[in-house]
Chain A
Amino acid sequence: MLTRLARAAQPPVPGGRLRLCAASLVALALLAAAVVFSAAPAGAAQRCWMEAVKDPRGAIVYVKRCETADPGRPGNGGSGQAPDCGIESYRPYPGQELFCSGGLPCYMDDRVLPGPRPPLAPGQEYKTLWCYPCPRCFGPPAPRTIVVGALPRPLVVQAREAFGELRPPGAVVRHSPTGPAVVALETWFWLDGATFGVQTGSSAEGLVAVAEPAGTTWDPGDGSAAVQCGGAGVAWSPEADRSLACVHAYQASSPGYQGAVTRHWAVHYENGGQQVAIPGAPTELTAGTPFTVSVVESQVVVGAGD
């Protein structure tokens, strides 16, 4: 009766096949013992256990580990080996998963125990951990609130995630002359300003990747060397600063050279506004954009103006 009461008031007790025998307590005890220790490991191909992990800042997070069980070699809870806490002696209710934690058979559920539940980091949640008082024994399990879930990820992993959130907009290529370029005359190339600005991306933890424009590389498409520019180029005008211009002179006409511009950003990372050096994190973002330029002989231009 004590056992049944415990089951009613508390989460399931091991030995679901236990039957009450009103005849005598002795018989009850014998029956209970037989039930508890007879439950077969029901083809348990995998053993799981929970480990308390202390993160670098002292916060405790419970993490579930699993491994394939070797029936002939009980584990000891050491590194990479499932601990033996007598789980095989228990028959969990459907949907209930037993595992070892702190050397005891335990299970988890979502019941909310009294007490505060301050906010958690992304990927973590509160659970209630119920553990039996000893391996292979009766007794109501004791509940405790725990934090389960992901540990803080290494900075380099966060950085890669933040980097992946950098989404440069499409580039809009301009050139002058605005129509066909002219053989042997300089063609100025530039990008619309809005397409080459500072970009940011964030990880789930708040690490920010900051991509700052670092320059452009222009492939004119005629087989000549690429043109390196410190910025996005500058629109042609009589007063334009030529030192900022991205310029190329085509040497032969074509109905359409297939050129491309590659934008380069220098990437750094910030945490709470403070720049953070993260070895192994990507430091350059690039984006290529093709364009087509038709080039005509200068005589055609002269002729067209006549």
Chain B
Amino acid sequence: MVQPVRRRSAVLAWGALLLAGCGSGGVQTPLPAGPTTAQTPAAGTADASAEEAVLTGYLAYWDGVIQAHRRGDPADRRLAAHTGDPELSRVRAEVARNSAQRLSVRGSVRHTARTETLSGSTATVLDCYDISGWNPVNVDTGKRVDTVGGSAFRARYTLRRSRGTWIVVDSVVMGGC
């Protein structure tokens, strides 16, 4: 089921234009011609609430990632609560690297995510996420560091159910979107 997901501070109208090429549709603003509803239902007979729970876990993971990067704290507890290895080690390494550069990444990330597969205690989420509003700040000067590079990426995240919640355990960035 295609599921539009919106960060608390996201502005979907802007994001929709950027993310229209992701193919998953489902955003709430006009898109180019093409399907705007689910094309690839999650495997099995998982119902919408189960897929919703997966996406909730997925967004909680991102909340942890963003908080860890903002604080420059690889040991951030929210991150640890919603992430498992190898993803946890990967994110911690990136936060630590940015922290060594005296950088704090601040802002928000926009998502257009859907549950791709859901089987037992494993699920995958496909997301086309936009990090143009998530930028590094030099913690010594307080000034934003100008960056270049892409802003919207397509990625697949693997989640595992752990103690009743879904945590992200792996991810692969597949390219731009």
Residues of A within 8 A of B (CB): 51-60, 102, 115-120, 126, 144-147, 151-152, 154-155, 271-272, 274, 276, 278
Is B100 interfacial (CB-CB < 8 Å)?
yes
Residue of A nearest to B143 (CB): A102
Task: Give the docked Cα–Cα distance between A41 and B170 (Å).
Answer: 50
Q: Please, how many residues of chain B have a CB less than 8 angstroms from a CB on the other chain? A: 38
Task: Give the docked Cα–Cα distance between A116 and B99 (Å).
Answer: 9
- With A54-B131, A60-B101 known as contacts, the answer to whether A118 contacts B96 (CB < 8 A) is yes
Residue of B nearest to A126 (CB): B100
Task: Give the docked Cα–Cα distance between A152 and B174 (Å).
Answer: 11
Of listed A51, A52, A59, residue having the most chain B CB within 10 A: A59
Q: Which 6 A-B pairs have the closest CB atoms?
A: A118-B96, A54-B147, A56-B153, A59-B94, A56-B173, A53-B149
- With A58-B69, A60-B147 known as contacts, the answer to whether A118 contacts B172 (CB < 8 A) is no
Task: Give the docked Cα–Cα distance between A277 and B100 (Å).
Answer: 34
- Give the residue of A58, A120, A155 whose beta carbon is less than 8 angstroms from that of B134: A58
Task: Give the docked Cα–Cα distance between A278 and B136 (Å).
Answer: 30
- With A119-B93, A276-B172 known as contacts, the answer to whether A145 contacts B100 (CB < 8 A) is yes
Is B47 interfacial (CB-CB < 8 Å)?
no
Flag if A52 contacts B136 (CB, 8 Å). yes
- Give the residue of A55, A102, A119, A145 whose beta carbon is less than 8 angstroms from that of B101: A145
- Give the residue of A51, A60, A271, A276 whose beta carbon is less than 8 angstroms from that of B98: A60
Flag if B131 contacts A58 (CB, 8 Å). yes
Q: List 9 A-B contacts (CB under 8 A).
A: A54-B135, A56-B150, A57-B173, A60-B101, A118-B93, A144-B101, A146-B101, A276-B174, A278-B174
Flag if A155 contacts B175 (CB, 8 Å). yes
- With A115-B100, A118-B100, A119-B93 known as contacts, the answer to whether A56 contacts B131 (CB < 8 A) is yes
- What residues on B are CB-neighbors of A276 within 8 Å? 156, 172, 174
Flag if A147 contacts B101 (CB, 8 Å). yes
Is B77 interfacial (CB-CB < 8 Å)?
no
Residue of A nearest to B107 (CB): A58
Flag if B170 contacts A274 (CB, 8 Å). yes
Task: Give the docked Cα–Cα distance between A93 and B98 (Å).
Answer: 30
Interface of A (DSSP majority class): loop
A176 to chain B, nearest CB (A): 46
- With A274-B170, A276-B156 known as contacts, the answer to whether A60 contacts B96 (CB < 8 A) is no
Task: Give the docked Cα–Cα distance between A255 and B45 (Å).
Answer: 63
Flag if A52 contacts B98 (CB, 8 Å). no
Task: Give the docked Cα–Cα distance between A146 and B136 (Å).
Answer: 13
- Give the residue of A126, A154, A271 whose beta carbon is less than 8 angstroms from that of B175: A154
Residue of B nearest to A278 (CB): B174
- What residues on A are CB-neighbors of B175 within 8 Å? 154-155
Task: Give the docked Cα–Cα distance between A115 and B99 (Å).
Answer: 9
Is B27 interfacial (CB-CB < 8 Å)?
no
Flag if B94 contacts A53 (CB, 8 Å). no
- What residues on A are CB-neighbors of B150 within 8 Å? 56
Is B158 interfacial (CB-CB < 8 Å)?
yes
Task: Give the docked Cα–Cα distance between A236 and B101 (Å).
Answer: 66
Of listed A57, A118, A155, A278, residue having the most chain B CB within 10 A: A57
B29 to chain A, nearest CB (A): 24
Of listed B94, B97, B148, B149, residue having the most chain A CB within 10 A: B97
- What residues on A are CB-neighbors of B55 within 8 Å? none
Task: Give the docked Cα–Cα distance between A102 and B86 (Å).
Answer: 34
- What residues on A are CB-neighbors of B155 within 8 Å? 56
